[in-house]
Amino acid sequence: MLVANELATDIVIAPSAWEEARCLMSADTAALVVLITAAKQQRGLVWQPGGYLRGMTRKWASGALNLRPVLFGLAGKG
């Protein structure tokens, strides 16, 4: 969790967005979503990491977030 917290700061995710994700998701899921956000930003697929995290958090809250295809996509398997 400490690594995700530092990474969220490094990629300029607002503390409020990070806190919201941690409150709504499990700590492990929120950390995974921050890692996904950073990986997508590094590949030029995300330009506003905080906005992307908030979008993922909204999807999680509505039950629409499925991380499996995102992870497969990042791994080049999807």
Which structure tokens are listed for 67? Answer: 């991380």
- pLDDT band of residue 9 (cuts 50, 70, 90) is confident
Ranges of H-type helices in 1-78: 2-10, 15-24, 27-42, 49-62, 67-74
Q: What is the mean pLDDT of residues 51-77?
A: 93
Best CA proximity match to 20, nearest among 49, 53, 48, 52:
53
Please give the torsion angle defined by the CA atoms of residues 43, 76, 33 and 38, in that order, rounded to the nearest 10 degrees.
-20
Share of the chain above pLDDT 90, in %: 77
Q: What is the pLDDT of residues 35-57, one digit of tens each?
A: 999 999 999 999 999 999 999 99
Q: For residue 63, give the DSSP letter.
A: T
* pTM (predicted TM-score): 0.87
- pLDDT band of residue 4 (cuts 50, 70, 90) is confident
